Amino acid sequence: MNFEPICRQFFPGCKVNSAEEIKVGHINQTYRLGLTLADGSAFDGLLQAVNTYVFKQPELVMENIARVTEYMRQKVPNGCNLTYYNSTTGKNYYRDHKRFWRLINYIPSSTYNSGEDLAVVAQAAQAFGRFQEILSDFPAESLHETIPGFHNTIWRFENLWKAADTDPQGRRAEVQEELAYLRTIETEACTLTRLLQEGKLPLRVTHNDTKINNVLFDTESREALVVIDLDTVMPGLVGHDFGDAIRTAANTEAEDSLHYDKASLDLPVFRTFAENYLRLVGDKLTETEVETLALSSFCMTIESAVRFLTDYLEGDVYFRTAYPEHNRIRTRCQLVFAKDIQAKMPQMQKMIREIMAQ
């Protein structure tokens, strides 16, 4: 593909010397490019084609990103920051007749996909805690909700019951056990959404995709450099980010493990993440936010199970699947994990209290 006409929308007169597709990630198409700019200097960057099926209004996504990254740069001017370059239109994107493009600085780094190494967990927790700390006084309500209802667990359950009632693919009989369990814990799983609706939890700027591999690490020191993948940055709850980080980092099994019956909460990972996260942002949180952190892990795990099961009942129309029962396996893994979280909830809550008392 000829990237030069696109790149010249950001850097007029530049030349593309190298291009390599980066195949990590399932949403956007990403290419690492080596450019020579018009003044003869070299530039290493990432060109991304944003998935406009997932992000229906990509201009609003980029507006959120522009505001948040500029705010972070002002707060920490000497930090490692993401830069989304402006095109000749003055916007931090370029849309041609086919695609929606953006150009980002390339940061030499390493990434990790699991929570097996507690040192990596600690650094990732600090990165997400620092992200929340820097943006703690940013007016979250001024950002666009680019994916409406993203973490509205009540709405997610409503969609599940609708899919179960209509049963468009004839799969309901296969998941009666899962549906029965979800009915018993629906009220508890919707706690964060209900507290938000009651005004008992504050809206904050949240990342909404707090996987460890969304943190870049220094290759030599293995220190966290910066949080990436800001497409889902929007108003949300601290528990959304904390809970989803625990869901993805502290499960002893992969999200779609065929050994889902062995899924369990790794308490050392939970404590390591909580300690390092709260060290940076604990004093910014309200009492209710702190009290619901452990519970948020359960809420986010159940919400994910609900989304996987809804998609399974609807015919796998949202999540990419590798085989017919993929979403059903994902659902089961989340539910086994959630039950273990329930069993360990007293220990988790005690850990949070101990950490906050330090």
In a domain, 113, yes or no: no
| Residue 110 resides in a domain | no
Which residues are within 8 A (CB) of 239 and not within 5 positions of it... i.e. 6 or more apart? 192, 201, 289, 292, 293, 295, 296, 299, 300
- Cα 68 to Cα 81: distance, rounded to the nearest angstrom: 11
What is the pLDDT, as a whole number, of residue 26? 63
Q: 44 - beta bridge partners?
A: 34
Residue 47 lies in a domain: yes
Neighbour-count burial of 357, counting CB atoms closer than 10 A to its CB (0-12 exposed, 13-18 middle, 19+ buried): exposed
- Is there a single domain that holds both residue 280 and residue 351? yes
Q: Which residue, 237, 159, 235, 158, is CA-closest to 196?
A: 237
Residue 134 sits in the same domain as residue 274: yes
Q: CA 10 to CA 132: how far, in whole Å?
A: 30
The verdict on 130 and 101 lying in the same domain is: no
Pick from 82, 105, 128: which residue ends a domain?
A: 105
Per DSSP, helices labelled H in 81-140 are 118-134
Residue that is last in its domain, among 72, 105, 138: 105
Q: How far apart are CA 36 and CA 38, in angstroms?
A: 7
Q: How many whole angstroms separate alpha carbon 332 and alpha carbon 78?
A: 45
Distances 35 to 45, 103, 231, 292, 346 between C-alpha atoms, Å: 8, 12, 25, 48, 54
Q: Let me know whether 133 and 92 are in one domain.
A: no
Which pLDDT does position 38 carry in this prediction?
96
Q: Which residue from 274, 280, 337, 277 is spatially nearest to 304, judged by alpha carbons?
A: 337
Q: Are residues 254 and 144 in the same domain?
A: yes
In a domain, 305, yes or no: yes
* Residue 112 belongs to some domain of the structure: no
CATH number of the domain where residue 344 is located: 3.90.1200.10
My answer on whether 195 and 65 are in the same domain is no
CA gap 325, 321 in Å, rounded: 8
pLDDT score for 300? 98
d(CA 112, CA 131): 18
pLDDT for the residue 351: 98
Q: Is residue 134 in some structural domain? A: yes
CA distance 350 to 330: 29
Q: Please measure the distance between the N-terminal and C-terminal CA atoms of the chain and give it in whole angstroms.
A: 56
Question: Is residue 319 assigned to a domain?
Answer: yes
pLDDT in tens, the chain (358 residues): 899 999 999 999 999 999 999 877 667 899 999 999 999 999 999 999 998 988 899 999 999 999 999 999 999 988 899 999 999 999 999 999 889 999 999 999 999 988 889 999 999 999 999 999 999 999 999 999 998 899 999 999 999 999 999 999 999 999 999 999 999 999 999 999 999 999 999 999 999 999 999 999 999 999 999 999 999 999 999 999 999 999 999 999 999 999 999 999 999 999 999 999 999 999 999 999 999 999 999 999 999 999 999 999 999 988 889 999 999 999 999 999 999 999 999 999 999 999 999 8
Give me the number of domains the chain comprises: 2
Residues 93 and 124 in one domain: no
Same domain for 155 and 299?
yes
Q: Which domain holds residue 87?
A: 4-105
Instruction: List the CATH number of the domain containing 21.
Output: 3.30.200.20
